[in-house]
Structures are given as structure tokens and as C-alpha cells.
Structure 1
Amino acid sequence: MLLSASTLLAGCATKLAQPITGYTCCNLRPDYGWVSSTNMLGGPIVPAGEPATLDTVKRDTYFFGTIGGDYISMRDDAARSKEDALRWVRQIVVPTDPKVALASWSPEVQKAVYSAKVIIGMTRPQVLMSLSYPSRNDTKDLNANTWRYWTIQEDEPVDVLFGADGTVSGFSGKPSAVRTVEFRR
């Protein structure tokens, strides 16, 4: 019976005609081998710039493959279609290694990104590389002045606030949650 169930389950997944290959856009937070568009902060980090190959899809929103040589599963919790999910996956797996951009940033910003944290004055692309994309359910527009992230600690939100110049001006949230995001110098 177990063999039949696993054979049936395997039949639901299909190989992509063209694998999605590239690099991780940003630091990712897998939860038991899953990277989710919900993007809960806390726990282990898969660093930006890891080689990635996604070659299998299931139910149009679940993608499977390897990142940095480890098997990984990815899901877009907000996707309404396969096209939505593919758009998200292509934001996460990018064709150009982001470490090239990272190397051009100040040493302080580099330290923050390597720590998956944020400092006042970081740009939106720097925050994206450090924390990844905020959940689309809470941050509908990446040009907004506030990006909301959720932390594993106490399931609390942290808002990253952007000033008129487009750089991080501060944080809002419970102090223990803000500590999850803010890089302390």
C-alpha cells in the first residue's frame, strides 16, 4: 500500500520543460526544507547567491529542486495561478549572481546582509537581498513606505520603514521582533 501511495503522489508532480536555473536573489529562510512566499524571519539562512535549479512543479504553485546542492521545496502561498507562482519563483531564482552587487556596497551594509539584518540607510534592493521579499499579503507594493515582515519569535510583525529618499528610516514593532531584523553595530 505504501508503494502505491508514493507512486500516486509522485505522479502528481511534473518535470518543467525548461528548468529554472540561476542564483538565490537574497537570503532565504527555509522552514524544514520549504521556502515560502510568506517569508517568516528567524531560523537558518540560505545565503544570497547560492546556485539554484528548480526542475519539478506540483499543483502549479509548488516547485522542487536544489539550492546550493541541497534539495529544496518552494511554494508561493499567495499565487492564484501557475503564472503568479512562476513570477515569484523567478524573483527568488535570478539569472545574475547577486554577490556581484553585494561586493559593491559598503562594508557595513555587507555585514548586515550577511547577517540577514537591516540598518538605517539601506536601500530597497539592499533590504530585499538581506531579508528577501515581504509577504505579498501584507506588502502589496514594493514602492510603499512600509514593508511588513513576520518573525518566528512570537509570530510578531516588524515594519521596515522607508523615508522620502527611499532608504530605511526606522522600524516598528515589538522590541523582540525588531531585534530579529535590526543590525546592531
Structure 2
Amino acid sequence: MTHLASLSRAAALACAAAFCAPAQAQPVYSGWLCCTMRVSGDWISDINYTGNGTRLIQAGTPVQITGHGRYRVHITIKGEPYRLGNDYSRDLDDAQFTERYIVRTDPAKALARWPQKVQEAIRTARVRVGMTREQVIMALGYPVSSENPALDTDAWRYWLGSFEEYQVHFNAAGKVREVSGAPGTLARVLMR
């Protein structure tokens, strides 16, 4: 066998090994839901739309990850199966997405230290002027990364539905200074 032929064979084997290598397994662990999320049937989407038949699952709810699928994390909550969908944050890999929504430290501990009005806003998936970024995430979920590539900006875009956008604006100290949007949308998300 010539030197060139052996190099070609070696390259072909290396290439085949790369394509045939088993996929990297995603972590399976127990944790807590990072934030108050809306569920429709068994589907929890990162966009966190509201609608007919949606209900809230509270931040700090214990969660068991049971597996991963294409742009989704399979979980159980109180023994019931759910799918957490990465619908609008697909620039995040599976591990980043999973770790964003299923946290390893119970957020209920932080929640218990905050004022009652902030706790109420978080439980009802609403926002108040003066809340911190952490509190907004706990109340509304993460702003989807397709529209909010950086979390350190002064405004985050959210939606209640396809045509119900609103924006949370932060001051230099990282606290909510204003929430903007259509009056009907604001009535459903802004707690005074």
C-alpha cells in the first residue's frame, strides 16, 4: 500500500468515526422550574404565550428531567409528563437551554425573602416597576434569545400572543423603570 493510499484510508476511517460517534448525552437530573411558566396540555414553550386553556406552573416547582428530544426537554412534574419546548431560543444548545429553565437551586428560597407584592407578581406571571432582572425572569420567564440576544440590555421583548408584544425597560441599576405595550396587553401583565 502506498503512503498516499494509507493516508486516504486513515482519513476515511477518521471521517467515518466522526459521523458514527454516539451523540453527546444530555444531563438528566432533578431541579426546579426557574420561573412561572404557562402550560397548554403538556407543552411549556419558552415564548410563554397565554391563551385558552393555559395554566400557570409556579417558579420553584420541583422538576425531574427524563430525556431530551429535538428542541425539547422531557420532564415530569408531580409524576406527570411535560415537554419544555425551545421554540424561540434555538441559538442556545440543549444543555444551555435546559440549565436556563431547570435550575439546581430552588428559586422559592429567594422568592420567600422578597416583598409580598413582588411574590404576588411572580405567582401571577406579572411584572411591577422596581423589580430586578432576576425577579422579572422568575415572573415572566427568560426573554426569548432570538429577539433578546443579550440579557444586559435596557429593554427585554416579551409576548402574550403572536400580536401582543410588550417590553420591560430597566434603569441603570437593573430595575424595572417602565413596561410598554398596548393598553390591553399591559392590563394583563403590569401589576401596579
Counterpart residue type for residue 77 of structure 2: I
Report if the CA contact (8 A) 2:26-2:95 is conserved.
no
- Cα 1:137–1:41 shift into 2, 3 Å: farther
CA shift at 1:17, angstroms? 6.7
CA shift at 1:106, angstroms? 1.1
Q: Kindly indicate whether residue 59 of structure 2 is the aligned counterpart of residue 48 of structure 1.
A: yes
Gaps of 5+ in 1: 1-13
**Root mean square deviation of aligned Cα:** 1.9
CA distance in 1: counterparts of 2:173 and 2:45, whole angstroms: 30
Paired residues in the alignment total 166
Aligned residue number for residue 147 of structure 2: 138
Q: Kindly indicate whether residue 86 of structure 2 is the aligned counterpart of residue 76 of structure 1.
A: yes
Aligned residues with identical type, % of pairs: 34
CA shift at 1:18, angstroms? 4.5
Q: Secondary structure at the match of 2:135?
A: helix
Aligned residue number for residue 182 of structure 2: 174
Counterpart residue type for residue 47 of structure 1: Q
TM-score (norm 2): 0.79
CA shift at 1:39, angstroms? 2.3
Gaps of 5+ in 2: 1-22
Counterpart residue type for residue 145 of structure 2: R
**Runs of 4+ that moved beyond 4 A:** none
Q: Secondary structure at the match of 1:91?
A: helix
TM-score (norm 1): 0.82
